[in-house]
Amino acid sequence: MKILLMGNPNVGKSAVFNRLTGADVIISNYAGTTVEFTKGSMKIARRNVELIDVPGTYTLEPTNKAEQIAVEMLKGRKDPDVVINVVEATNLERSLNLTLQLLKERVSVIVALNFWDETKHKGISIDVEKLEGILKVPCVPICAVTGQGINHLVERIKEARPSPFRYDKTDKWREIGGIVEQVQTITHRHHTLLERLGEASIKPITGLPIAVISLFLALKLIRFVGEGLIGRVCEPVFENLWSPLMLKLSSFLGSGGVIHNLVIGQLVDGKIDYGQSFGLLTTGLFVPLGAVLPYVFAFYLVLSFLEDLGYIPRLAIMVDTLMHRLGLHGLAIVPMLLGLGCNVPGVLSTRILETRKERFIAATIIAIGVPCAALQAMIVGLVARHGMLNLGIVYGTLFIVWLILGLLLNRVVKGTSPEIFTEIPPYRIPYLRGLLKKVYMRTKWFVKEAVPFVLLGVLLVNILYTLGVIQFAGKIAAPVVTKVLGLPQEAVGALIIGFLRKDVAVGMLIPLGLTSKQLVIASVVLAMYFPCIATFTTLVRELGFADMLKSAGIMLISSLIVGGLLNLILV
């Protein structure tokens, strides 16, 4: 048996999916969180059932690509056995448009009225039995994030069947209006605080200060949590618990030799130095778990809160005019924000943009000007020691590059940049358990993706140094690296490893004893010159090989220009 979850964007299909399958799919309070369909399985009456989370659509007459995917899934070769039509109970009229179209397709439908809890706050009362009587398919009120009503929904899936309900297609909205009138009563009530806040954060006079203040607070909170965890948890654990263990292992391995250097690395004054030792179990573990993970956790905590609250689409409205200058529109802020965590989900979410031009520009400026959390954590750790001004120069340069590159690409890249067209969801108080689960999922994903690559990176550093490859590459690249960028030729090693993991690459700069100016240049160039391998493969998949080559060319050239300019300007 196969079940499709269908409904308008942002009605909670993924939340229902998670509830039914126990799977972990990211859910947020904005349209377009699900850009790919997700498959999962569940059991109904001991039968294995395949459940598919379909991207949101308002209609079966598709108006964009995401909707087209949804329609193809419904009308595709393998007919679904049942469609669970998730509707927004607080928005019955709009939702019924799709419901009626589904009924017309003569598929077995069961309607899940989500956000049932919200109807009460909004003074909406829906007569579910009457609705069932009209549509002649089961209708079940649920609240997907908390799980209320889900069991009931599952029990009634077997009752789903094609409905005999018919309507005059030319007068669909009158038909819908008639149904709504029969089943729904609305009692007048005053605006809630959240609604007032929702409007305030989208009017320019109040919205701009709110945007500035929230982003400032977000940054403060990320630094507070990140630095707090590093200072109070990670460093003490590594210094006081892990180091003694490693020293014992070191003497057990004979304090030297090939294996010792691979596992422990070089001891500095007889001690483990997590920045410089560069062994698999020292630097290899400290970089992802001790230095980067706290910031990744802090970043996702704040981002997930803003997502679940529903602030992101409002921010999109506030930055829309700016984004148009870059050939994008406001919603492109979503891939940018996700890219600040990790470029891979950032590039993936460029799918919420409609045209090839927009996706190319967005993906390229993410890869160049949006440093991921891992890279940022290492840059902050290294550069901030040389003064906040230097850190400001790194971030300022990347922002200006992001901006100028977008402005240029908008003029050069052929194609169209459509206007924004998106629903603005109401503010919703984040459901704490759901929020924490999302943060956990994203953090876990980071650990799973990052740790193996960091270890591989550290391994490769050791092998390449032993074989003399990095020294050799340094000699070849010396003219460019030393003359143009003003860096020592050993920095080439970081640029090679940066293709694997950029956090490891920054780590490789530590033993070089660079000046403040060199650190700034190296950080900027490392961020810009080329994506890490995970982002690279995502870019190839999303843009195609030809466009990826163009994008890569832009990265290499612009990083050389910017690095060279910094070398000339900075003292």
Q: Determine, following the binding rule CB under 8 A, whether residue 159 of this chain makes contact with other proteins.
A: no
**442 HSE (CA, 13 A, CB side):** 28
Tell me the C-alpha distance between 277 and 228, whole Å: 24
From candidates 97, 282, 523, 551, binder to other proteins by CB under 8 A: 97
Q: CB nearer to other proteins: give 86 or 532.
A: 86
Q: Does 26 bind other proteins (CB under 8 A)?
A: no
- Which one, 122 or 386, has the nearer CB to other proteins? 122
Site string for other proteins, 338-377 (x = CB under 8 A): ----------------------------------------
The yes or no reply on residue 424 touching other proteins (CB under 8 A) is: yes
Nearer to other proteins, 173 or 399 (CB): 173
Q: What's the token pair of residue 270?
A: 């007889």
Q: What's the closest the beta carbon of residue 94 comes to other proteins, in angstroms?
A: 5
For 393, 445, 475, the CA distances from 218, given in Å and listed in that order, are 20, 22, 44
- Tell the smallest beta-carbon distance from residue 191 to other proteins (Å): 10
| Element (DSSP H or E) covering residue 283 | helix 283-285
In which residue are the tokens 């706290």 written? 294
Question: Dihedral through CA 29, CA 35, CA 39, CA 42, nearest 10?
Answer: 10
Residues 202-261, interacting with other proteins (CB under 8 A): 202-204, 207
Question: Are the CB atoms for 507 and 460 separated by under 8 Å?
Answer: no
CB of 91 to other proteins, least distance (A): 5
* Burial label, 43 (beta-carbon count in 10 A; 0-12, 13-18, 19+): exposed
- For other proteins, which residue of 2, 94, 121, 158 counts as binding (CB under 8 A)? 94
Report the residue from 403, 420, 473, 560 that binds other proteins according to the rule CB under 8 A.
Answer: 420
Q: Is 419 in the site for other proteins (CB under 8 A)?
A: yes
Site for other proteins in 30-89 (CB under 8 A): 58-59, 61, 63
Q: Which stretch binds other proteins (CB under 8 A): 198-206, 210-218, 359-367, 459-467?
A: 198-206
Tokens representing 32? 């377009």
- What's the sign of the alpha-carbon dihedral 504, 505, 511, 514? negative
In the complex with other proteins, which residue's Cβ is closer, 207 or 564?
207
C-alpha closest to that of 96 among 82, 75, 111: 111
Rounded Cα distance, 49 and 52, in Å: 10
Nearest to 529 by CA among 381, 371, 356, 413: 371
Residues 302-331 binding other proteins (CB under 8 A) are: 313, 316-318, 320-321, 329-330
Q: Shortest gap between Cβ of 32 and other proteins (angstroms)?
A: 13
Q: Please report how close the Cβ of residue 510 comes to other proteins at its closest, in angstroms.
A: 44
CB of 86 to other proteins, least distance (A): 16
Distance in Å, CB of 206 to other proteins, minimum: 10
Q: Rule CB under 8 A: say whether 334 interacts with other proteins.
A: no
Residue closer to other proteins by CB (options 355, 471) is 355
CB of 176 to other proteins, least distance (A): 7
Nearest to other proteins of 202, 229 (CB atom): 202
Q: For 430, phi and psi rounded to 5 degrees?
A: -55, 140
**Alpha-carbon distances, residue 391 vs 49, 67, 205 (angstroms):** 53, 43, 31
Closest CA to 261 of 277, 276, 274: 277
- Round to whole Å and give the CA distance between 298 and 225: 6
Among 106, 120, 169, 173, binds other proteins (CB under 8 A): 173
At residue 97, the 3 state secondary structure works out as: helix
Residue 160, classed as helix, strand or coil, is: coil
DSSP, residue by residue, 318-368:
HTHHHHHHTT--GGGHHHHHHHHH-HHHHHHGGGGS-SHHHHHHHHHHHHH
The site string for other proteins over 376-415 (x = CB under 8 A, - otherwise) reads: ----------------------------------------
CB 279 within 8 A of CB 263: yes
Query: Counting contacts by CB under 8 A, is residue 90 touching other proteins?
Result: yes
Q: Which residues bind other proteins (CB under 8 A)?
A: 58-59, 61, 63, 90-91, 93-94, 97, 122, 124, 173, 176, 198-199, 202-204, 207, 313, 316-318, 320-321, 329-330, 418-426
